[in-house]
């Protein structure tokens, strides 16, 4: 149908981004192609390598899934998106396809090894998430393609992650957010992935912050160095949610806290995480 109706057609998944845009007249598609009528598009499966999410899997289904118990950063993300109404309708595929700079899923999934399966008239292809998100509201999807599945590689043994967002209230997007994934060899950090949300046009991998942790014993000093490097990596815009300087300080604080929680989780501790409200 996308090929048939051309550029004027839009896919409808949960409608939690598209319908508000249509109400504001920022989007005015002549055809809506409703994915909700296609069976077997909402599922969570796993094998020993990946967790697979059907594109129409709702945030709330992920929040309540065994996968989110196994990989708690998925729970941190899904449970913190807006309010229960949005979580019951909004989908992981819709969130990645929208590529909203403030969206939570892309930031979190940047710290895990994530593949996006795209299905179109020419068949299926797999795109690494880092190559899928091209710019704000821009992805590698061709007009006649849909996201069919999101595959998240199972973190290595000894891994722990955390995602923290700072928000003014539940049903709004975060002011800034930070996702951290650590893999520990006893006290030494074997690998680290840190992504910053809402402080750039797309999620930012804070690679200098990651280097400040990799190969190190995680102490107050190494964690502070990583937080400082994350502040430097942020590229925020000043807006109604805060000034550039405010967001940089905020992101540093979120990264510090997220590292501390990720470390405790990597050591096997159960740590509950909620977003932080102003
Ligand atoms: C009040 C409110 C607060 C919100 N707060 C947050 C928040 O804090 N954090 C957050 O991350 N999100 C938030 N959202 C957005 C929410 O998470 C959406 O669910 C998500 O961004 C889009 O998913 P959707 O399934 O609703 O997509 P839709 O709105 O149906 O679609 C969004 C776009 O993606 C395309 N699309 C959808 N599915 C596919 C697919 N399978 N393949 C290709 N293209 C597709 C559509 O054509 C459309 O262009 C909020 C929404 C509202 C209304």
Ligand 1 atom with the smallest distance to the CA of 145 is 43
> ∠ CA 46-52-55 to the nearest 5 degrees?
150
For residue 7, what pLDDT band results from cuts at 50, 70 and 90? confident
Instruction: Write the residue with the smallest CA distance to atom 33 of ligand 1.
Output: 98
pLDDT tens digits for range 158-196: 999 999 999 999 889 999 999 999 999 999 999 999 999
Distance CA 22, CA 269 (A): 44
Q: Residue 225: what pLDDT?
A: 98
pLDDT tens digits for range 32-86: 999 999 999 999 999 999 999 999 999 999 999 999 999 999 999 999 999 999 9
Pocket test for ligand 1, best of 85, 97, 174 (most atoms within 8 A of CB): 97
Instruction: Write the residue with the smallest CA distance to atom 21 of ligand 1.
Output: 95
Distance CA 169, CA 261 (A): 22
Q: Residue 170: what pLDDT?
A: 87
Write out residues with Cβ below 6 Å of ligand 1. 10-18, 20, 35, 55, 81-82, 86, 89-91, 93-95, 97-98, 100, 103-105, 141, 146-147, 171, 173
Distance 97 CA to ligand 1 centre (A): 8
pTM of the predicted structure, to 2 decimals: 0.97
For residue 274, what pLDDT band results from cuts at 50, 70 and 90? confident
Q: Residue 275: what pLDDT?
A: 87
Distance 91 CA to ligand 1 centre (A): 6
Residue corresponding to tokens 């950063």? 73
Region at 40 (left for phi over 0; alpha for psi -120 to 50; beta for the rest): left
pLDDT tens digits for range 129-155: 999 999 999 999 999 999 999 999 999
Query: Would you say residue 128 has pLDDT above 90?
Result: yes
Distance CA 103, CA 174 (A): 8
Distance 16 CA to ligand 1 centre (A): 5
Region at 36 (left for phi over 0; alpha for psi -120 to 50; beta for the rest): alpha
Distance 100 CA to ligand 1 centre (A): 9
pLDDT tens digits for range 185-243: 999 999 999 999 999 999 999 999 999 999 999 999 999 999 999 999 999 999 999 99
Distance 158 CA to ligand 1 centre (A): 33
Pocket test for ligand 1, best of 5, 6, 13, 132 (most atoms within 8 A of CB): 13
**Overall average pLDDT of the 14-19 stretch:** 98
Region at 252 (left for phi over 0; alpha for psi -120 to 50; beta for the rest): alpha
Distance 226 CA to ligand 1 centre (A): 32
């Amino acid at each position: 149908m996308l090929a048939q109706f051309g550029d004027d057609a839009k896919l409808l998944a949960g409608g939690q981004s598209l319908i508000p845009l249509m109400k504001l007249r920022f989007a005015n598609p002549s055809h809506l192609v409703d994915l909700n009528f296609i069976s077997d598009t909402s599922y969570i499966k796993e094998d020993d390598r990946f967790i697979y999410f059907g594109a129409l899997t709702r945030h709330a289904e992920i929040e309540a899934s065994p996968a989110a118990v196994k990989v708690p950063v998925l729970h941190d993300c899904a449970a913190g998106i807006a309010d229960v109404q949005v979580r019951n309708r909004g989908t992981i595929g819709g969130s990645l396809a929208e590529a909203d700079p403030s969206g939570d899923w892309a930031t979190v999934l940047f710290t895990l090894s994530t593949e996006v399966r795209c299905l179109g008239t020419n068949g299926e292809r797999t795109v690494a998430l880092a190559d899928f998100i091209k710019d704000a509201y821009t992805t590698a999807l061709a007009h006649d393609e849909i996201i069919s599945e999101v595959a998240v590689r199972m973190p290595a043994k000894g891994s722990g992650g955390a995602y923290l967002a700072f928000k003014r209230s539940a049903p709004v997007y975060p002011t800034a957010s930070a996702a951290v994934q650590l893999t520990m060899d006893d006290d030494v950090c074997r690998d680290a992935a840190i992504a910053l949300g809402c402080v750039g046009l797309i999620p930012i991998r804070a690679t200098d912050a990651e280097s400040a942790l990799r190969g190190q014993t995680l102490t107050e000093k190494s964690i502070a160095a990583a937080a400082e490097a994350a502040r430097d990596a942020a590229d925020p815009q000043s807006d109604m949610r805060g000034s550039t300087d405010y967001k940089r300080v905020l992101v540093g604080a979120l990264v510090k806290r997220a590292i501390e929680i990720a470390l405790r989780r990597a050591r096997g501790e159960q740590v509950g995480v909620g977003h932080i409200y102003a």
